[in-house]
Amino acid sequence: MCKSKIPEPKVPEPVEGVEGPVYKNKKTK
């Protein structure tokens, strides 16, 4: 529900604090 409401802020930029290293690793793969 929350993820669907904020699909834009789900990028690795704002998530650098929570999923920063995780999101970047997935995008690199």
Domain spans, the chain: 1-29
The whole-number pLDDT of residue 4 equals 57
The whole-number pLDDT of residue 2 equals 59
pLDDT in tens, 1-29: 555 565 665 555 555 555 556 655 555 54
The whole-number pLDDT of residue 20 equals 55
Instruction: Specify the residue for token string 């998530």.
Output: 15
Its pTM stands at 0.14
User: By CB neighbour count within 10 A (0-12 exposed, 13-18 middle, 19+ buried), where does 15 fall?
Assistant: middle
Q: Distance between CA 27 and CA 16 in Å, rounded?
A: 13
